[in-house]
């Protein structure tokens, strides 16, 4: 067949370029017109219409994200699992490591902040950047998440769904005329859509956004979050159906056996969640120092190690629960169908619990692109089934009670890791639609919070933010005046102060020329000697004498702002020096105090 001439090929290429340019020009004109139209509407009306737009667009994006994950997994692992062991081992290794390698290259080259769950990043963007999330983050998260999770990585889809939905809503807010400082409503709405679409559970999505991201159940963004969560769920209902994330039949009300064993199931599930968090954070911190392994290769290393665990479990039991979401085995457990040859179901639950936990630690700790919602629900469900099975050998255990303990474990494990107990209860309730489970879920939630607060300093997402260098006391504003006054001095201190190293005339003259401050801390031998006013320094230069110093009021970085207020009132210079022993760390002035209080008031949502 004769090839087209060079001129024809160039003509076709130019046509494609012109078509793409025309498309983007049309889209630009469309959004400019839409922004102009929305700007003419009353603020409340505009917020409602924008929230509906965020809900529909983000809902469609999350549905596409989940669908592609399922397509990739079902096209690879499911058919491979029916082949010979050698074929499955070779094929699954290639898919899992290859997908993680491509995702790692994508993350490392375009958007490193798109790695991991995405919920900590969305939370940081909400508070630190007024809700601004770049379009690059959205598409990188989408593609890398599909590859990492659909390719068999032991990670969850819910965190990435929240992140990409938040980012898409933030981008649409900019396109419809919202200034960068007004994107928080869009980000919160997108987060609600993401979780509602991921779990098909709008109530738990609403609760999670208010509990974890906004951290205020009385926020004035409540209306937008509710509307967005409902629209996200409606999009899923229309495209996928009303079924929840996990298949679960109706069960009878818990018996006394379930109530007796609920604390044990909740404790085991919570402890599993606690150690998952500890191991994951430790690995994540350590691998960052392994400079011999390039950043783009680390997700593939984690995937290869997780594959070893998954293939061993598959060889032993024939189950795929370690790979990807693991919802197939979890759904079997919630239907009392989890089996392993002649072995008892609780034995398989124990194996899957340990294997899935360590596979997820490796997948997340090495920088994989995926979340922790699904894995923690899996840990909790298997913990509950393990407790039910063990005690079922000593006394009769109805199948419905085993399922009850499994859902208690799911709620408890999620609550221990995320510290969002209301979300944990609502997720399970929206899956089962059974009020009879609410009392045991509440007992499990109370126990999970007690275990988590006893064994961990903060929840998983806040620990990730701290590990990434964020200071939570500066990132998250207080909810009231008392909360603000309980913050440490380090939250508002200036740790790069301008100081005088001695009172030599040349040093003093240089400082007065370069800076306009009214007061200067004076150091002698690296230790605060006092505070010199600008007036006193100028007079001392003219009179050729040593300037007189006012006493330096000292405070420690961990003292509260309430204590600092009293110190500043007693300071003649309106300044306090922040010290660690004799060493000067920074300063705090009355202006710093007032500025911080104004910022806290403006940041409240």
What average pLDDT is seen over the chain?
A: 88
User: Residue 602: its pLDDT value, please?
Assistant: 61
Q: pLDDT tens for residues 280-322?
A: 999 999 998 898 899 999 999 999 999 999 999 999 999 999 9
CA distance 29 to 19: 15
| Whether pLDDT at 102 is above 50 | yes
User: Residue 1: its pLDDT value, please?
Assistant: 47
Residues 6+ apart with CB under 8 A from 340: 317, 318, 319, 347, 348
User: Residues 1-7: what's their mean pLDDT?
Assistant: 52
Torsion-angle region of 420 (φ positive above 0: left; ψ -120 to 50: alpha; else: beta): beta
- In this predicted structure, which of 1-5, 93-97, 107-111, 353-357 has the lowest mean pLDDT? 1-5
User: Residue 180: its pLDDT value, please?
Assistant: 87
Q: What is the 3-state secondary structure (H, E, C) of 304-350?
A: HHHHHHHHHHHHHHCCCCCCCCCHHHHHHHCCCCCCECCECHHHHHH
User: Residue 604: its pLDDT value, please?
Assistant: 58
In the structure encoding, which two tokens stand for residue 590, read together?
């009355």
CA distance 400 to 389: 12
Q: What angle do CA 53, 244, 361 make, to 5 degrees?
A: 95
User: Residue 433: its pLDDT value, please?
Assistant: 74
- % of the chain residues with pLDDT over 70: 92
391 alpha carbon, distance to own chain's centre = 36
In the structure encoding, which two tokens stand for residue 561, read together?
């702002």
| Whether pLDDT at 600 is above 70 | no
CA distance 235 to 423: 21
Residue 554 φ then ψ, to 5°: -100, 150
User: Residue 9: its pLDDT value, please?
Assistant: 53
> pTM of the full predicted structure?
0.81
CA distance 294 to 108: 9
CA distance 269 to 280: 16
What is the rounded (10 degree) CA torsion for 453, 457, 459, 461? 180
| Whether pLDDT at 16 is above 70 | no
In the structure encoding, which two tokens stand for residue 246, read together?
């996990």
Sign, CA torsion 121/125/127/128: positive
Higher local confidence (pLDDT), 473 or 506? 506
Q: What is the 3-state secondary structure (H, E, C) of 48-59?
A: HHHHHHHHHHHH
User: Residue 524: its pLDDT value, please?
Assistant: 86
User: Residues 331-360: what's their mean pLDDT?
Assistant: 89
3-state DSSP call for residue 275?
Answer: helix
Q: pLDDT tens for residues 142-159?
A: 999 999 999 999 999 999
Higher local confidence (pLDDT), 68 or 1? 68
Mutual angle of helices 119-128 and 184-199, in 10-degree steps: 160
For strands 583-589 and 500-501, give the pairing. Answer: unpaired
DSSP class per residue in 464-480: HHHHTT--HHHHSPPSS
Q: Is 36 exposed, middle or buried (0-12, 13-18, 19+ CB in 10 A)?
A: exposed
Q: What angle do CA 195, 403, 374 make, to 5 degrees?
A: 30
Q: Identify any residues that bridge with 488 across adjacent strands, giving them in sequence order.
A: 560
């Amino acid at each position: 067949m004769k090839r087209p001439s060079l001129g024809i090929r160039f003509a076709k290429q130019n046509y494609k370029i012109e078509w793409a340019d025309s498309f983007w020009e049309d889209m630009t004109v469309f959004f400019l017109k839409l922004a102009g139209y929305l700007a003419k509407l009353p603020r409340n009306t505009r917020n409602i219409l924008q929230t509906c737009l965020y809900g529909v667009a983000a809902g469609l994006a999350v549905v596409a994200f989940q669908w592609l994950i399922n397509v990739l997994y079902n096209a690879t692992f499911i058919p491979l699992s029916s082949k010979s062991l050698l074929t499955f081992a070779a094929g699954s290794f290639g898919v899992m490591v290859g997908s993680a390698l491509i995702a790692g290259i994508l993350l490392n080259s375009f958007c490193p902040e798109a790695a991991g769950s995405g919920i900590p990043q969305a939370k940081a963007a909400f508070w630190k950047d007024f809700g601004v999330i770049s379009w690059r983050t959205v598409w990188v998260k989408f593609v890398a998440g599909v590859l990492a999770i659909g390719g068999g990585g032991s990670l969850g889809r819910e965190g990435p769904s929240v992140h990409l939905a938040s980012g898409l809503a933030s981008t649409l807010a900019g396109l419809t005329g919202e200034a960068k400082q007004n994107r928080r409503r869009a980000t919160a709405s997108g987060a609600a859509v993401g979780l509602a679409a991921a779990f098909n559970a709008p109530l738990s999505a609403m609760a999670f956004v208010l509990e974890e991201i906004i951290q205020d159940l009385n926020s004035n963004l409540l209306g937008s979050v509710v509307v967005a969560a409902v629209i996200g769920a409606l999009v899923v209902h229309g495209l996928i159906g009303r079924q929840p994330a996990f298949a679960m039949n109706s069960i009878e009300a818990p018996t006394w056996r379930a109530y007796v064993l609920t604390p044990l199931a909740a404790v085991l599930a919570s402890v599993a969640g606690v150690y998952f968090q500890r191991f994951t954070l430790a690995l994540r911190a350590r691998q960052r120092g392994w400079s011999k392994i390039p950043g783009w290769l680390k997700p593939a290393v984690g995937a290869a190690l997780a594959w070893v665990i998954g293939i061993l479990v598959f060889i032993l039991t024939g189950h795929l629960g370690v790979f990807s979401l693991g919802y197939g085995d979890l759904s079997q457990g919630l239907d009392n169908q989890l089996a392993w040859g002649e072995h008892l179901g609780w034995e398989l639950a124990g194996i899957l619990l340990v294997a899935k936990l360590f596979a997820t630690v490796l997948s997340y700790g090495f920088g994989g692109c995926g979340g922790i919602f699904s894995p923690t629900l899996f840990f909790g469900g298997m913990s509950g089934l393990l407790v039910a099975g063990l005690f079922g050998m000593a006394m009769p255990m109805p199948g419905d009670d085993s399922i009850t303990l499994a859902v208690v474990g799911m709620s408890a494990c999620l609550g221990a890791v995320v510290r969002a107990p209301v979300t944990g209860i609502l997720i399970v309730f929206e899956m089962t639609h059974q009020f009879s489970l609410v009392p045991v879920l509440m007992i499990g939630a109370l126990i999970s919070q007690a275990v988590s607060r006893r064994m961990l300093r903060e929840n998983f997402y806040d620990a990730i933010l701290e590990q990434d260098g964020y200071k939570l006391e500066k990132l998250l504003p207080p909810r009231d005046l008392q909360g603000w006054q309980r913050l440490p001095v380090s939250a508002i201190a200036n740790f790069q102060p301008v100081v005088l190293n001695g009172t030599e005339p040349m040093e003093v003259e240089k400082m007065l020329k370069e800076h306009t401050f009214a007061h200067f801390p004076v150091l002698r031998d690296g230790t605060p000697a006092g505070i010199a006013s600008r007036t006193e320094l100028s007079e001392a230069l003219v009179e050729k004498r040593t300037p007189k110093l006012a006493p330096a009021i000292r405070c420690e970085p961990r003292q509260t702002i309430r204590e600092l207020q009293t110190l500043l009132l007693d300071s003649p210079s309106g300044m306090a020096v922040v010290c660690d022993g004799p060493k000067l760390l920074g300063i705090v002035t009355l202006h710093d105090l007032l500025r911080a209080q104004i910022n806290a008031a403006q940041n409240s949502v």
